[in-house]
Amino acid sequence: MRPPARRGLRAPALLVCAAALVAVITLLPLVYLGERALERGWAFVVDELLEPRTVALIARSLLLVIVVTGICVVIGVGLAVLVCRTDLPLRRGLAVALTLPLAMPSYLLAYLWVSTVPSVAGFWGACLVLVLVSYPLVMLTTLAALSRADPAHEEVARSLGHGGVSVLFRVTLPQARAAIAAGALLVALYVLSDFGAVAAMRYEVFTWVIYGAYRSGFNPSRAAILSLVLLIFALVLVVAEGRARGLASARLGAGAPRPALLNKLGGWWPIAAIPPAAVLIGAIGLPTLALAQWLLNAGARWDGAAWLAALGSTVWLSLVAAGVCTLAALPLGLLAARYRNRTTRALEGASYVAHGLPAIVVGIAMVSVGVLLLTPLYQREPLLILAYAVLFIPLAVGSVRSSLEAAPIQLEEVARSLGRPPLRAFTSVTVRVAAPGIAAGAALVLLTCMKELPVTLLLHPTGTDTLATRLWGYTSVSDYAAAAPYAAALLVFAAVPTAALGVWSTNGSGVRSD
């Protein structure tokens, strides 16, 4: 059971100031967007919003979000139930394998599919790629909810004569609906802000049009207006996700959690294994074969020195960004977990705003911040790390908050009663208990930074390339052979934190190996 938020106590002023500073930093892109959008007056804003092409763009973007989110819910929930509530063989290893598509950059998966099946480009190609890289978000949240669900409800339903399918839809899934909704909203937010997959698949949505407007430089005001429209959609999703997360925060059963009874598949297990196998083939199998073909074609074109330099830059920048984001998330996560009130909720919500923006918008905004305010840092590593922090602090905040909520506050109070100062009691007791969850959040930030493309393209230091920028440079001109070594390195090294995240998630999700 989560510890109750300390509503009756006032949060320390220093903690609030630190959290407010972090929230203000994450809102820097909004200053740029507001200035750009209004530089030609409100009449121009209204005209742009009423343009038929803008309405069509909204319809195309929302259609993609709705279709991808719906498919991800079906796949993610189905896979979570399969590995958590059935006796499917090797289900723990399967659960970890099914998280690996999180390591696949959407733009890389799109190019791997396009190079193999050129006709896949378009709306359905974008749907395919986004579903394959997004369904783990629903699967992981559903697994967590199923592990908290009290199996007594299912046992009572069975004792009343309900079969396995009836229990699943009438008892099990209703208990997890808040977590399923939270995962679905995270998918929607991801699809809304994705750039790589839609660009590779040539499907025109907000992010691609915004990128084109910024790149051409002819109409930055239109790009800023479209970005603000996208921001409105993102804010709606963030508010909805927060409410769904709040509904899912309390434990769904009384007493200590215990494993639920598994549904026996019997001779039907080979048929039940077909859906996860098909998903893994589409997300990992066929792309791996395509990548192998790229590598075979690379031959002597492999530039080992450039490859090592790009790999070193990627790992170094991602590690630093993961550390910065995790440290910055600590005051926000602590406030949200221990001092619930309107101010702390507002600060936590503010940190999520920029995460809902396309990375290309955040990148352009940070370029302006670098040129106008942080000139000595422009085209240097600190500005790129700052941009990563603006984008990815929310990923760490969520892990820090949930980890601190799971750490019993009574242990910290006992340590203080034994004479330990408050700070030492917190670091020696609470932080130790919450460390695995915080580390999982840092691993998620590390993974996301390694894959990140638009911000890295715009802000990487002069003369420094990462695996993502090298990969994009070659794939954008269809030079897949030259891109192959960078794609392979990105997948292998991104798979490490993803596998760790998958193991950590399944260890606490009730997925048994028996």
pLDDT of residue 162: 57
Spacing of C-alpha 88 from chain mean position: 28
Q: CA–CA separation, 342 vs 346, rounded Å?
A: 6
What integer pLDDT is reported at residue 371 of this predicted model?
Answer: 77
Burial class of residue 55, CB neighbours in 10 A (0-12, 13-18, 19+):
exposed
Percent of residues, the chain, with pLDDT higher than 90: 9
Does 250 have pLDDT greater than 50?
no
Model pLDDT, residue 15: 80
- 74 pLDDT band (50/70/90 cuts)? very high
What per-residue string of b and e applies to 313-336 under the rule 16 or more CB within 10 Å gives b?
A: bbbebbebbbebbbebbbbbbbbb
129 CB contacts (<8 Å, ≥6 apart)? 106, 109, 110, 113, 197, 200, 201
Looking up tokens 């396009």, which residue turns up?
114
Q: Residue 230 corresponds to which tokens in the numbers above?
A: 């996208």
CA distance 321 to 314: 11
Residue 71 scores a pLDDT above 90: yes
Instruction: Examine the pLDDT at 164 and tell me if it is beyond 70.
Output: no
- The pLDDT tens digits of the residues spanning 318-347 come to 999 999 998 988 888 888 777 777 777 777
pLDDT band (50, 70, 90) for residue 244: low
Alpha-carbon distance 338 to 382, whole Å? 31
Mean pLDDT of 498-502: 67
What pLDDT does residue 168 have? 62
d(CA 493, CA 367): 28
Q: How many other CB atoms sit within 10 Å of the CB of residue 59?
A: 10
Each residue of 405-430: pLDDT tens digit? Answer: 766 676 666 767 777 666 676 666 77
Of residues 464 and 214, more confidently modeled: 464
pLDDT at 132: 94
In angstroms, rounded to a whole number, what is the distance separating the alpha carbons of residues 484 and 110? Answer: 14
User: Which amino acid appears at position 46 of this protein?
Assistant: V
Q: Are 120 and 114 in contact (CB under 8 A)?
A: yes
- Token code pair at residue 210: 């915004």
Other beta carbons within 10 angstroms of residue 14's beta carbon come to: 9
Q: Is the pLDDT of residue 256 over 50?
A: no
Could you tell me if 450 and 468 are in contact, meaning their C-beta atoms sit under 8 angstroms apart?
A: yes
